[in-house]
Amino acid sequence: MKVLYIGGTGEISTSCVRASVARGHEVTVFNRGTKKAQLNEDAIYIAGDLRNRAPYKPLGTQHFDVVCQFLAYMPETIQRDLDFFSGRCGQYVFISTASAYRKGDDGRRLTESTPLDNPFWAYSRAKAACEDLLLEASITSTIVRPSHTYDTRIPSTVIDGNHLAWRITHGKPVIVHDNGESLWTLTHADDFANAFAQLHGNKTAFDEVFHITSDDAHTWNDILNQVAAALGRHADLCPIGSDTLISHMPALEGPLLGDKANTMVFDNSKIRSAVRGWECRVELSDGIKRTVELALERLAGGYQPDPRQDEQIDHILKACVSA
């Protein structure tokens, strides 16, 4: 099949392009071309910028069997895609987010029928609005909701993975939100991609919604301790309540209250019914080891965290530990 990726060089989509190529599809990647290291030599690349008035002009009159949209965050982008690709593709695949699900404290596994309701994060609400628009359209579509999917980036909370590695290797304490015991699901991009590529042209996926995640969940304490172990260090974890963290860093409201501060475990029976035989094969310890190797290369290359953010983390720790 002819498969178009809008994006194709991100933390998730790089693996998806690779999986689509491996299945023998003719893959075209449409993006600005700024991430040269992620370009797949077996794909066709067309440069374009979604910020332009007519971004898809470089595609000409091509028809694609599948269009995979990884870069749509607002309904306006979906509407523009519908205007352009209606009649030009057999299946439109939109990458949404599992963070849009309504959160509960009952510990039950989330299914695709869980309502989309996230009052804490505008990002998640915008993705849900994109879904609503797409489901009302006449185009054949598939909606995919990833949760925390990683490949080259260390899984982290409060700060990014590079900053986390830097603090641990420098013997500095690390914040974990709340008591660190909420359950969190991490999915390796290769496992996600193996299922994702099998939705191409899959009639059981037409006009359906799927999340694709691991079945396993880990506490944040376990995740951060595994990162430290892969670094050959000990993690000095300091639990601080999410509300307190948000009072110091308001931008954390969405990522914490709208996502990481909640227990997130998933029922993957629906994706397995569409992609028989699929299962996650990358163990978390192996996946983290690879992300740590890459982070250490960045640190050795001179990486330094934003000094203002690092000072803020130190300030929060000092204020909360001494309180």
Q: What is the pLDDT of residue 108?
A: 81
Distance of alpha carbon 219 from alpha carbon 19, whole angstroms: 30
Q: What is the pLDDT of residue 41?
A: 86
Where on the phi/psi map is residue 207: left (φ > 0), alpha (ψ -120 to 50), or beta?
A: left
Q: What is the pLDDT of residue 265?
A: 96
- Paired tokens of 254: 């969405």
Q: What is the pLDDT of residue 34?
A: 72
Per-10-residue mean pLDDT for the chain, 323 residues long?
A: 95 96 96 77 90 90 97 96 95 98 81 96 98 96 98 97 98 96 97 98 97 97 98 96 96 96 96 96 97 97 96 94 64
Q: What is the pLDDT of residue 282?
A: 97
Q: What is the pLDDT of residue 37?
A: 67
Q: What is the pLDDT of residue 39?
A: 78
| Chosen CATH of 2-150+186-212 out of 3.40.190.10, 3.40.50.720, 3.40.718.10, 1.10.150.120 | 3.40.50.720
- Domain locations in the chain as residue ranges: 2-150+186-212, 161-184+218-262+283-322
Rounded to a whole number of angstroms, the CA Rg of the chain reads: 20
Q: Is 266 exposed, middle or buried (0-12, 13-18, 19+ CB in 10 A)?
A: buried
Q: What is the pLDDT of residue 105?
A: 62
Q: List C-alpha distances in Å: 144 to 126, 180, 189.
A: 15, 28, 14
Beta carbons within 10 angstroms of residue 17's beta carbon: 28
